[in-house]
A and B are shown apart, each in its own frame.
Chain A
Amino acid sequence: MSNLFDLLVAGLATGAIYALVAVGFTLLWQTSQTINFAQGEFVMLPAFLMLAAMHAGAPFWLAIILGILLSMLLLGLAFKMLLVDPMMRHGVLPLAIATMALAIGLKEAVKQFFSAEASPFPSIVPTGDIAILGHNVSLQSIGVLVLAILAVFGLTALLNRTSLGHQMQAAAQNPTVARIIGVPVERMILLTFLINAFLVALASLLITPIYLAKFTSGEVLGQAAFIAAIVGGFNQVRGAIAGGLLIGVLDNLAAAYVSTQYRAAVPMIFLIAVILFRPQGLLGRAEERTV
């Protein structure tokens, strides 16, 4: 049983990071119909920005702030203005392909300008174990879980409790009507891109100490977040959170109880089942067909 408890804690911690990334993913989809295939690389990059700042002599806290600001500039503002805006009118698919190309570009840029090797990354939560209910649990898992949950709660509060959040939701749900009642839709869409950039930078900060900084590390993560978003419900923020936690736990349990070889298959089979029997996701609303 102690094994199961450890697995659950570790699973929830990775799941909370998946949830952060998945929430950003659904935000982009909702406001601008962007399927961002580069989302995993978006998580990979900020860690390198922070490392670069530290190599230039900045202390860790300053590097974190610089890394987050730079990712909001590059992965939020520049991504929207240079890639999404020109292509948004032309449907979902060309933009999705362009983000695939962006993923290749980001990976290669990091490999070329930084390093092809994995680099260690300092942890912002203290390492070590503490005893909870008679189990030794790693502080890092707890710290990651707490920070990710705080971020998610903050975001949900922003979306549901503030006027700004309501405007963002209106812009996502019905841009035409939102525009009529005076919501600055364009600015709201930009805001979701900035929030996504912030979330991926935070996820990067939390996950890189565990898995090291490597130019390919976005591949697995992006796919996990992608699946989490779909499983939870592509059009719901709370769905993405639930999906992230679920996939994190499922992945860890599958590795322990199914087989390490087929651990990656379990979330996939789950995904297919969810799409076939509940395509709107576990917590999502059914989308209306436009035909």
Chain B
Amino acid sequence: MSGFAKPLKIALGLAVIAALIVVPMNFNRYGLFILSQWAVMAIAAMGLNLTLGYAGQVSLAQGAFVGIGAYAAAIMTTHGWPLPAAIVVAIALSFAVGWVLGYPALRVQHHYLAFVTLAFSTLAFLVFRNESWLTGGIYGISNIPRPHIFGIATNKPLPFYYVCLGSLAIVSLAVWWLIRSPWGRAFMALRENPLRAQSLGIDTRRYTLMAFAIGSALGGVAGALYAPLTQYIDPVPFNLSLSLDLLMMVIVGGAGFFLGPFLGAMIAVLLPEWLRFTEGYYLMLYAIAVMGLLIWSPTGILGILDRYLAERRTKAASALRAVAKSRLETVQ
């Protein structure tokens, strides 16, 4: 992205934000629901992008953390607690469980780690389904209230969309700050070369656990918003396929790019909706589109842009060199 001039980048960013605020104002209920879902999934994908894209730890359990957050929020808000308190609990719970799940990451890497997290994901689903004294089992939890923010009721779709969008903005700023802090640098060092990171004095053990815990906590935030968004939850949405979907979002958008999760969530949530006019074929076309995109650019959508900008930069640089050289020659 650094190829654009800075003012242009800021203007573009502001235009997108303004569009996200203004355009949905006359959307119908369903459109707002889909857009809110995009915001929620983008938060979860951003968490996974921290774990996977920046720290290089493969996790197939992000969907389970969305589930943990959703159940925490659903159980607390139906018992009269306010949503912000539920979000804090969801964060704390996901953080703690994520920290514990990070321990296998200290012993095994790559695909083995993916398998451990996959098993965890299935176990979490079984707990959601079977512990009906807590989670309502297969009947789930219904009548989840939507919160009052600064005294304004958000029962209607539009106000709640702004709650989701606002949360996305807060999480984005926090992640933006995090990846530019020494912690973010340490995460990237972990991804690029763990051995070297360790020899430079980075406590790889602590940072691996941190990467897992923070990424999972964001999954919890997404879940805590998902529950009041749908106002009804059961175990089905939080099975393994949600974890796989979130992983797909991160890779398709571009793992390790800040904006990757936004685009990835857009592809995964909005593209199937746009393809709905093809009726029975829409998921098939979606699958073909994802495969085609990955064949074209295995580093995701932002990988294409990155490659293009890198090429342009090299061209510009070599042009500058040529100019400088010809100047030198004319001087001589």
* Residue of chain B at shortest CB distance from A89: B298
CB pair A230–B115 under 8 Å, yes or no, is yes
Stretch of B17-25, B279-287, B319-327 that contacts chain A: B279-287
* Residue of chain A at shortest CB distance from B52: A93
How long is the Cα–Cα vector from A271 to B118 in the complex, in angstroms? 10
Which B residues, 235 to 255, have Cβ-Cβ distances below 8 Å to chain A?
Answer: 240, 244, 247-248, 251-252, 255
CB pair B58–A93 under 8 Å, yes or no, is yes
B291 at the interface (CB under 8 A from A): yes
A87 at the interface (CB under 8 A from B): yes
CB pair B284–A268 under 8 Å, yes or no, is no
How long is the Cα–Cα vector from A5 to B291 in the complex, in angstroms? 46
A105 at the interface (CB under 8 A from B): yes
A265 at the interface (CB under 8 A from B): yes
How long is the Cα–Cα vector from A265 to B124 in the complex, in angstroms? 9
Using Cβ atoms and an 8 Å threshold, which residues of chain B touch A90? 298-299
Using Cβ atoms and an 8 Å threshold, which residues of chain B touch A59? none
B317 at the interface (CB under 8 A from A): no
A97 at the interface (CB under 8 A from B): yes
Using Cβ atoms and an 8 Å threshold, which residues of chain A touch B119? 227, 268-269, 271-272
Which B residues, 70 to 115, have Cβ-Cβ distances below 8 Å to chain A?
Answer: 104, 107-108, 110-112, 115
Using Cβ atoms and an 8 Å threshold, which residues of chain B touch A291? 193-195
CB pair B290–A101 under 8 Å, yes or no, is yes
Q: What is the total number of residues of chain A having a CB less than 8 Å from a CB of chain B?
A: 39
How long is the Cα–Cα vector from A223 to B298 in the complex, in angstroms? 25
Using Cβ atoms and an 8 Å threshold, which residues of chain B touch A264? 122, 126
How long is the Cα–Cα vector from A226 to B112 in the complex, in angstroms? 12
How long is the Cα–Cα vector from A194 to B19 in the complex, in angstroms? 51
CB pair A269–B107 under 8 Å, yes or no, is no
A67 at the interface (CB under 8 A from B): no
A98 at the interface (CB under 8 A from B): yes
Counted as pairs of residues, one from A and one from B, with CB atoms less than 8 Å apart, the total is 110
A2 at the interface (CB under 8 A from B): no
Which B residues, 256 to 289, have Cβ-Cβ distances below 8 Å to chain A?
Answer: 280-281, 283-284, 286-288
Q: With A35-B111, A98-B291 as given contacts, are A112 and B284 in contact (CB-CB < 8 Å)?
A: yes
A190 at the interface (CB under 8 A from B): no
Which B residues, 284 to 320, have Cβ-Cβ distances below 8 Å to chain A?
Answer: 284, 286-288, 290-291, 294-295, 298-299
How long is the Cα–Cα vector from A272 to B298 in the complex, in angstroms? 30
Using Cβ atoms and an 8 Å threshold, which residues of chain B touch A276? 104, 107-108, 116
A184 at the interface (CB under 8 A from B): no
> Which of B107, B108, B110, B283 sits near A104, CB closer than 8 Å?
B283
How long is the Cα–Cα vector from A35 to B193 in the complex, in angstroms? 23
CB pair A108–B251 under 8 Å, yes or no, is no
Using Cβ atoms and an 8 Å threshold, which residues of chain B touch A35? 111
Q: With A93-B58, A275-B112 as given contacts, are A83 and B244 in contact (CB-CB < 8 Å)?
A: no
In the assembled complex, the CB of B62 is this many whole angstroms from the nearest CB of chain A, namely 14
A130 at the interface (CB under 8 A from B): no
> Which of A83, A108, A279 sits near B283, CB closer than 8 Å?
A108
In the assembled complex, the CB of B286 is this many whole angstroms from the nearest CB of chain A, namely 7
Using Cβ atoms and an 8 Å threshold, which residues of chain A touch B143? none
CB pair B126–A91 under 8 Å, yes or no, is no
How long is the Cα–Cα vector from A264 to B127 in the complex, in angstroms? 11
Using Cβ atoms and an 8 Å threshold, which residues of chain A touch B195? 291
CB pair A97–B248 under 8 Å, yes or no, is yes
> Which of B130, B248, B252, B287 sits near A261, CB closer than 8 Å?
B130
CB pair A97–B251 under 8 Å, yes or no, is yes
Q: With A83-B291, A105-B288 as given contacts, are A275 and B104 in contact (CB-CB < 8 Å)?
A: yes
> Which of A92, A105, A109, A112 sits near B111, CB closer than 8 Å?
A92
Using Cβ atoms and an 8 Å threshold, which residues of chain A touch B248? 97, 100-101
How long is the Cα–Cα vector from A265 to B107 in the complex, in angstroms? 22
A72 at the interface (CB under 8 A from B): no
Using Cβ atoms and an 8 Å threshold, which residues of chain A touch B123? 265, 268-269
* Residue of chain A at shortest CB distance from B103: A276
Can you report 5 residue pairs joining A to B where beta carbons are below 8 Å apart? A86-B295, A93-B255, A98-B290, A100-B244, A108-B287
